[in-house]
Amino acid sequence: MAERKKKRVRGSSSREFGRGEKHTREGLGRGPLWVRVALIIVAFFILRALFGMAATLFGEPPTPVARIVALVLLYAATICFAKAVMGNVGAWPARSSSATPQRPAVILKVIFAGLVMIVSTSVLLEPLLQLFRPVEALPSDGIWGVVAAVLVAPVFEEWLFRGTLQRLIAREMSSPKAVVIASAMFAAAHATPHQMVAALFCGMILGWAYCRTGSLAAAILLHALNNLLACLTAGMALRGIINNDMLYWLVYAACVVILLLIIYNYVIGRDSKKD
């Protein structure tokens, strides 16, 4: 009987996507979760304004390097504040607390599935996003803007929103709820409505990948690939590339089918519980 109880306790550490983890709070915050989440969002915007003003000290408008330094300092300061409010998870949370570490082959499969979901979702959201703005051009800072978008932002944004916030929230509720809340915070951190809508859905895919693989590196790589695709396709819209309405809606319908199949097989179906 004692051996069975030990096995049950050990086995409980290998949680599937959908089960949360309860911990004793180690942070300064002891209030309701929504209050602490709101504090972090407010702190993020205050810090962004402060570091934005600091970047202008080196020139107006700020130089690309000053923007990147301000971005790094912003996320580092927000991560420290979030840990103080929510509880500490260590300096670099390379592993998700809601999943067993997976083999490299499984991680690559999840990254591929996540990338297909991101591309399919972007196609499905295109008609909605066109209501908010025209198609974006390349980053205004040229190559430095691409470096910030593809190399700097994925590391620090995933460290904050998935590696820190999602992981800490998952200590107090189920993993899916933590993914949604962290994704909503990720969306709120973006400046414009069209960016918020795209970031919300992208954030949920990134949060799923983090839970599914147990690896923050997987979420960072997937985020970097998403931003790279956004830079490569900046200024283009699928509706503009495909001039034929019937062909466009066939592609649109194919993306719907592909997205539903991947969600069924990898998120809620049998493959989500394998490996």
Per-residue pLDDT at 98 exceeds 60:
no
CA-CA distance, 27 to 85, in Å (whole number)?
A: 5
Per-residue pLDDT at 6 exceeds 80:
no
- Residue ranges of domains in the chain: 96-273
Q: How far apart are the first and last CA of the chain?
A: 29
Per-residue pLDDT at 260 exceeds 70:
yes
Per-residue pLDDT, 36 = 87
Instruction: Quote the distance between the C-alpha of residue 224 and its chain's center.
Output: 11
Per-residue pLDDT, 59 = 75
Residue type, 135: V
Structure confidence by residue, pLDDT tens digits, 156-198: 999 999 998 998 898 888 889 999 999 999 999 987 888 899 9
Buried b (16+ CB within 10 A) or exposed e, 153-163: bbbbbbbbbbb
CA-CA distance, 5 to 185, in Å (whole number)?
A: 39
Per-residue pLDDT, 15 = 44
Q: Kindly report the average pLDDT of the chain as a whole number.
A: 81
Contacts of the segment 56-60: beta carbons below 8 A, 24+ positions apart:
none
